[in-house]
Structure 1
Amino acid sequence: MKHFILSFIALLFFVFESIFAQLFASDVFGADKILVPRFIMIFVFFLTMFGSRKIGMLYGAILGLTYDAVYTEILGVYMLLIPFLAYLISKCMKILQNNILISCLVALLFTAVLEVVIFQMNIILSFADMGFAEYMDRRFVPTLLLNLVFIIISCYPLKRIIEKLDLQGELE
């Protein structure tokens, strides 16, 4: 039952992320700004912080592969990057206090890391044609602001749901 609930939540975020990207395209917030919702990644980050590292990495790999198959041209980038970032988050949260403010800041930091790594991968593969300064202005800052709002709205409810499911000891 636990994994059914988590899978349902992940599906909701996946669908909501797609709907958000379609409805609130760049022309709503300004023609020169690019907003990229990272709701699935944030869900995996919170799952790792408040649940279990293994569950977070497993969901990260599955959702990353799904994200690659649906949205990107190359399979494997998100499938490898999201579980790796989930692993790093689990290590960071062993050092840091696990309160809601720190969790929000860590989720935002790792969303920023994800964005920069994806941009660099796109530069290497010649999929991006903008410079780093233009990227920071047009995509990075608006994307971080959007995802910060999502983190603030969803952090406490996700924390409560994940802690209620008691994922510690799963997959052991």
Structure 2
Amino acid sequence: MKKFLLPLLFLFLFIFESLYVQYSPAEMFGHNRIIAPHFLFAGLLFLTIFVGKKHGIIYAAIFGLLFDIVYIEIIGIYLFLFPFICYLVSKIMHIMQTNIVIAFLVSLFGIALLEVGVYEMDHLIHVTNLDFMSFIKLRFYPTLILNAVFIIIAGYPFKRLFEKHAESLRAE
């Protein structure tokens, strides 16, 4: 049963993101703001921080591909960015202490990298016509605020769950 807990958690976060977008009020951050929840990615970053690089990158690649297949017309953006940012976060965590405050800050940094990376890829292939400053004002800041609130709420339960998972992996 414990082997299915992580995939079910990430599948729940994957579905919860789309439910949040569908049922949240459009004017939450003001008129014409774009809010992108990255609850799944925040969970993947916490997995990378508290369990390890190998598990984080594997789950990031699987769910990045799933994200591309379900939501994006171009397969490869999230398949590349999810594992790459998880790898960067694992390298950052070799330098930093592993505690909840650092995990919060590093996760927000990872989400910021994801947002900028997706914007740059979309801008490069002419999917979006937003200039960078409009992107920052209309999407980047509201997205970071929403995901910061989510990490504040779910960060400690994620930390506890992933620390227990790491202990059970070491015991095997």
TM-score range, shorter chain: over 0.9
Per-residue CA shift, 1:8-63, capped at 9, x if unaligned? 10011011100001112533442311100001111110000001211110000000
Query: What do you get for the CA RMSD once the two structures are aligned?
Result: 1.5
Q: Deviations over 1:50-100 (max 9, x none)?
A: 012111100000000000001101111111111111111111101001111
Aligned to 1:156: 156
- Report SS of the residue matched to 1:35: coil
Residue 54 of structure 2: aligned partner:
54
Uncovered stretches (5+) of structure 2, i.e. residues with no partner: none
Task: Give the secondary-structure state (helix, strand or coil) at the position aligned to 2:37.
Answer: coil
CA distance in 2, matches of 1:149, 1:68: 25
Counterpart for residue 8 of structure 1: 8
* Matched positions, count: 170
Paired position in structure 2 for 1:30: 30
In structure 2, give the amino acid aligned to 1:35.
I
Partner of 1:84: 84
What residue number does 2:120 align with?
120
Instruction: Tell me the distance in 2 between the aligned counterparts of 1:102 and 1:166.
Output: 18
Q: Give aligned-pair identity as a percent.
A: 43
Contact 1:52 1:167 in 2 (8 A): no
Compute the TM-score of the two structures, normalised by the length of structure 1: 0.94
Compared CA separation, residues 167 and 131, structure 1 to 2 (3 A): farther
Closer, same or farther in 2 for the Cα pair 1:156/1:15, shift >3 Å?
same
Q: Do the aligned partners of residues 138 and 127 (structure 1) sit closer, same or farther apart at CA in structure 2, a change above 3 Å counting?
A: same
Equivalents in 1 of 2:76, 2:25: separation in Å?
26
CA distance in 2: counterparts of 1:51 and 1:167, whole angstroms? 9
8 Å CA contact 1:34–1:138 kept in 2: the answer is: yes
SS of residue in 2 equivalent to 1:90: helix
1:42–1:151 Cα contact (<8 Å) kept: yes
> Where does structure 1 differ by over 6 angstroms across 4 or more consecutive aligned residues?
none
1 CA distance for matches of 2:106 and 2:3? 25
Counterpart of 2:130 in structure 1 is 130
1:168 deviates by 7.8
Q: Structure 1 regions of 5+ residues with no counterpart?
A: none
The code of the aligned residue for 2:134 comes to E
Structure 1: how far apart are the matches of 2:8 and 2:130? 37
